[in-house]
Amino acid sequence: MFSEAPFDDVMSEINKVYDDKLDDHGLLKSIDLDFKLKVPEFLYERFKLCGGTALLKRLIDSIESLLKSIIDAAGIGGAIYELKDSLKMSIEED
C-alpha cells in the first residue's frame, strides 16, 4: 500500500514551494520540518506493527497536520481536505 519511503515524495513536493511560504508554515527550518515528518513516520511504523483503528486515525490526523501546512503554504486546499475527511469516516471501529 505504501512505498518503502512514503515521505520522500512529500519532501520533493515541499521543495517546490517558495521559502517564505514554507517558513510561515513551519516547513523550512529543519527542526520544525523534521518533527512534522517524524510523527507520521512513527505512527505508520506503529500501525504496521500493531494495527487497529485508533492508530490508523492518529496516523491520518498526523498526515492531515502535515498536509495542511503544505497545502496552506502552496495556496491550494478544499478537495484534498474533503477526501481526507471521507477516508477517515470510512474507517470502521475495532
User: What's the confidence (pLDDT) of residue 50?
Assistant: 95
From the CB of residue 14, how many other CB atoms can be counted at a distance below 10 Å? 20
Q: What is the pLDDT of residues 19-70, one digit of tens each?
A: 677 677 676 666 777 888 899 999 999 999 999 999 999 999 998 888 887 7
Residue 94 lies in a domain: no
Per the structure, the complete domain to which residue 24 belongs is given by 8-89
Q: How many domains does the chain have?
A: 1
Q: Which distant-in-sequence residues (6+ apart) come within 8 Å of 25 by Cβ?
A: 69, 70, 72, 73
Could you tell me the pLDDT band of residue 94, with boundaries at 50, 70 and 90?
confident
